[in-house]
Structure 1
Amino acid sequence: MSTEYYPLDARRAAFEVLQKVELGAYSDLALDTLLKRNRGTDPRDRALLTELVYGILRLRGRLDFALAQVSRQPFARLESAAQQLLRIGAYQLLELERIPVRAAVNETVELARKLDLERLAGLVNGTLRELDRKRDQLNWPPPEKVREYLEQVCSLPKWLAREIMSQLPNEGARSFGEALSQAAPMSLRINGLKTDAAGFKAALDGAGFQYRECGFAPEGLIIEQRGPGGIPGDEEGWYQVQDEASMLIAHLLDPQPGEKILDACAAPGGKTTHIAALTGNRARILALEKHPQRVRLLEQGAARNGCTCIEARQYDLEEFPDFLEIDSFDRVLVDAPCSGLGVLRRNPESRWTRQAAELKVLAELQLKILFNVAPLVKRGGILLYSVCTFSRAETTGVIETFLENHREFDLESFGGQVSDHWQALLDPSGALRSFPHQHDGMDAFFAVKLRRQA
């Protein structure tokens, strides 16, 4: 089936993106490719397409639970095309109040016909009408049944619901699950190398954007309503799209002008360019990345943001970097490859593609990287470990094992470094541990500071 649309049919495009994701594609890349091919599409159709793709992937568990209660055939046994059509219709019925019931049902039935899936039209019509009739009778689990609530209302797989429940009390687990089921805020970091806060805010005002300041990151803004056009200063590099939790990492690294800094797992470069901005381009930053194409991404980002102090280089830190001098870096950031459980709202298919067994494999990779960069840290220098996840295996588990094997490093609290306002972000050990339901809607991140003994 062709993916060339002009004008773009939002529902049909959503179906094909979802099918590609089912086969292993990344939703953001598949969606971006399609939207770039259809630049002349009405903004409302582009918005509906984006809403359908990300919303259905985020709430697939909830939609499937509802559909299973009204489907005459076992929903889990339906062919993939039927499931995707029903999810597209159910999402409109249950989550998009602005779309009338008649339109949600009829457009989905018509979509089946457009796709040459006439055999599914009756199934889609009957199931969606039954869902509309029985929407108030659906057997949703009450919040008191925490595991079922996390799985069926918050749309989380069983293993992930168990991981959350093992770390948070019942009320906290529910609140966290509810936050993960919602769309993530759109946050921007003002690039101080290219503009200032007053000038950028004035440009946003003039372009019809509504926004608020982030609760913790001083250069962060959250866009609450977009203007009719693009964000001002895109080509000029006035801003970087970056979650607030991610913005905290460069501040916690506390880079200083004149220092030699290693960003060990740098792509796509948001933290790297932030480090450069915080030092006013007066540090020496080496950014390493495993994949060559992502090194080019790093270089493009540095150029866009006006960062002149970054050297990007391809290297896989699963091997010791013998081309680098021992004891030579003042600060090393290891923003390690991880499960990404803390950014599920932004990468919604991950909740269905990740498996519990991967956490152990990822923890072993994270330790290997830490072991390989530890000798590069100067005596008295800082090794900062961060991940956009909350699993025990990848957070405290990794750090405990590292410290057992590297007695020359001490865990140092961020408490004496940050302002009183930031203390709410720290756990009892002084590590960063952010959660969207507790901290201004930001992603779930973990970070610790390890100081090498002098």
Structure 2
Amino acid sequence: MKKTDRKTNYSARFSAFTVLGKISSGKAYADIALDNALSLTDEPERPLATELVYGILRNQIKIDYIIDLAVSIKTKRLEHTVLNALRLGVYQLIFLTKIPPSAAINESVNLIKKEGAKKAGFINAVLRRIDRERNTLRFPVKEDNEARAISVLYSIPEWLAKRWLERFEWNEASELCKTLLTPPPKVIRANTIVTSKDALIGELNKIGFTVAPALYAPDAIVITKDIGLNPKATEYYIQDEASQIVARLLSPMPGESVLDACAAPGGKTTHIAAIMRNAGFIIAFDRRASRLATLKNASNRLNATIILPVATDSAFALPLKPNAFFDAVLVDAPCSGLGVLRRSPDIKLRITEADIKDLAKKQSALLENLSGQVKKGGHLVYSVCSFEPEETDLIIKNFLKKHPEFKVENANEYLPETCAPLTDKDGFLRTFPHKHNSDGFFAARLKKV
């Protein structure tokens, strides 16, 4: 007998509760867990489920602070199921004011009822107290402790708030953290292998989207009214504007040879192919076969035919011939991801300061290993989606001390004029969410002389 499809009947709150549980236990990343849950969720409920998951993750530190004000057992000691039910209730009470308090409380209690009346009663009592006292909640203030105030008000780990306050004035640090609480813009890249940006804008507006050219990246289109982007479309690729600029900084020419050392999932790789007008060749390395499969699928659907995916770890000996040198090498290194907190807010809940130092060692090793594949007169672009000095300036500074055969090339000389505001005094590409409404990226272009 033919199997029938499983009925999708999760409610928004149950889906969010399930996803938060997986994240809390360290068993899943937010985007993957949410995608899986949404496939089992009633379609009208999916927007609320998404709002609940990402809203709570963005504001979790502040939410936990509010819970701690109302309970004697602090959040660090509460069971995950109880804590996540409370988080769902607090987020709806304090941040989603269109939801009636009674619904926010009762639905949160219902999520935990199967675990017993005691837990359900506890959640009911805590949420009702927070609802009563919402207008008298007291938060840390700048005058007492700047880092603590920013941490709680904008849900940033306190160690990270301290780091940013060392580099930015209070107002800028606050603006950065405030921006990181907002959803990122929806941006796509026109796949110029099969269409043009202007043609794609016209087509999308015609079928009911509202779109416009982005400010900086030549192929970027901002979606302000989304009627449903197709992740399998041939004409475009969903990709943040800052990420698109990295391939532009590499500026490969048609017919050249390119090595993309950490290529999956393929956004930058397929963009490089488009810039090269699909002429030349690109070797795309990634150490995980599952991610390479994603890259292959992207290459196929975007008609990027010059890409050769290879499963290998770029930090070690490379599967290349001794005389295999490239015109251009892209090292888009694994990093802390602190520049993409708007789209991946769960990062800030698991990353530590020690992780940044460990990542910097790996980034240096990658750059050291791959620099040997650049031909004389060729160039290398190092990029990360992070602002942290250990992952950005210091990586380049230390590399140049050991490799006088490389020199920094000013990004302005290779990027469109529209990108001039994104280049700093050292010639590096830097984007910030609060300044450029994009992901936070750093990139440096180095020439082998």
TM-score when normalising by structure 2: 0.94
CA contact (8 A) 2:10 2:40 kept: no
| Match status 1:445 vs 2:444 | no
SS at match of 2:90: helix
Match of 2:246 in 1: 249
Distance apart, 1:60 and its partner CA: 0.5
Match of 1:165 in 2: 165
Of the structure 1 ranges 163-172 and 14-23, higher mean CA displacement relative to structure 2 is found in 163-172
| Match status 1:355 vs 2:358 | no
CA contact (8 A) 2:248 2:414 kept: no
Q: How many Å separate the matches in 1 of 2:212 and 2:166?
A: 34
| Match status 1:61 vs 2:61 | yes
SS at match of 2:390: coil
Match of 1:121 in 2: 120
Match of 2:137 in 1: 138
Are the structure 2 counterparts of residues 200 and 262 from structure 1 closer, same or farther at C-alpha, using a change threshold of 3 Å?
same
1:29 is aligned, of 22, 27, 32, to 32
Equivalent residue letter for 1:231 = L
Unaligned 5+ segments in structure 2 are 1-5
Equivalent residue letter for 2:209 = F
Match of 1:219 in 2: 219
Equivalent residue letter for 2:312 = Y
Distance apart, 1:212 and its partner CA: 3.3
Match of 2:108 in 1: 108
Are the structure 2 counterparts of residues 206 and 418 from structure 1 closer, same or farther at C-alpha, using a change threshold of 3 Å?
closer
- Note the aligned Cα RMSD (angstroms): 1.8
Match of 2:16 in 1: 14
SS at match of 2:391: coil
Map 1:54-93; keep pairs closer than 5 Å.
Answer: 54-93=54-93
For residues 406-428 of structure 1, the C-alpha deviation after alignment (integer angstroms, 9 at most, x for no partner) is 11101121123334432211121
Q: How many Å separate the matches in 1 of 2:265 and 2:75?
A: 39
For residues 125-177 of structure 1, the C-alpha deviation after alignment (integer angstroms, 9 at most, x for no partner) is 22112212222211123456531232101101122112212222221111111
Distance apart, 1:37 and its partner CA: 3.9
For residues 337-381 of structure 1, the C-alpha deviation after alignment (integer angstroms, 9 at most, x for no partner) is 111111112221111111111111111111111111111101111
SS at match of 2:368: helix
SS at match of 2:259: strand
Map 1:242-281; keep pairs closer than 5 Å.
Answer: 242-281=239-278
CA contact (8 A) 2:88 2:108 kept: yes
Equivalent residue letter for 1:345 = R
Distance apart, 1:5 and its partner CA: 6.7
CA contact (8 A) 1:325 1:376 kept: no
Are the structure 2 counterparts of residues 127 and 399 from structure 1 closer, same or farther at C-alpha, using a change threshold of 3 Å?
same
Are the structure 2 counterparts of residues 328 and 18 from structure 1 closer, same or farther at C-alpha, using a change threshold of 3 Å?
same
Q: How many Å separate the matches in 1 of 2:346 and 2:209?
A: 29
* Residues matched between the structures, number: 442
TM-score when normalising by structure 1: 0.93
Distance apart, 1:53 and its partner CA: 1.0
Equivalent residue letter for 1:32 = D
SS at match of 1:330: strand
For residues 381-407 of structure 1, the C-alpha deviation after alignment (integer angstroms, 9 at most, x for no partner) is 111000001111111111111111111
Q: How many Å separate the matches in 2 of 1:414 and 1:209?
A: 33
CA contact (8 A) 2:242 2:439 kept: yes
CA contact (8 A) 1:245 1:434 kept: yes
Q: How many Å separate the matches in 1 of 2:354 and 2:14?
A: 35
Equivalent residue letter for 1:136 = N
CA contact (8 A) 2:190 2:200 kept: yes
SS at match of 1:221: strand
Q: How many Å separate the matches in 2 of 1:273 and 1:201?
A: 20
Q: How many Å separate the matches in 2 of 1:20 and 1:293?
A: 21
Are the structure 2 counterparts of residues 224 and 141 from structure 1 closer, same or farther at C-alpha, using a change threshold of 3 Å?
farther
SS at match of 2:414: coil
| Match status 1:423 vs 2:425 | no
Of the structure 1 ranges 201-210 and 272-281, higher mean CA displacement relative to structure 2 is found in 201-210
Match of 2:178 in 1: 178
Match of 1:191 in 2: 191
CA contact (8 A) 1:146 1:174 kept: no
Distance apart, 1:204 and its partner CA: 2.5
2:297 is aligned, of 296, 300, 310, to 300
Distance apart, 1:303 and its partner CA: 0.2
Match of 2:229 in 1: 231
Of the structure 1 ranges 408-417 and 394-403, higher mean CA displacement relative to structure 2 is found in 408-417
CA contact (8 A) 2:217 2:419 kept: no
Equivalent residue letter for 1:121 = A
Q: How many Å separate the matches in 2 of 1:104 and 1:318?
A: 49
For residues 52-99 of structure 1, the C-alpha deviation after alignment (integer angstroms, 9 at most, x for no partner) is 111111110011112212235433322221110110011111111321
SS at match of 1:211: strand
Q: How many Å separate the matches in 2 of 1:123 and 1:57?
A: 23
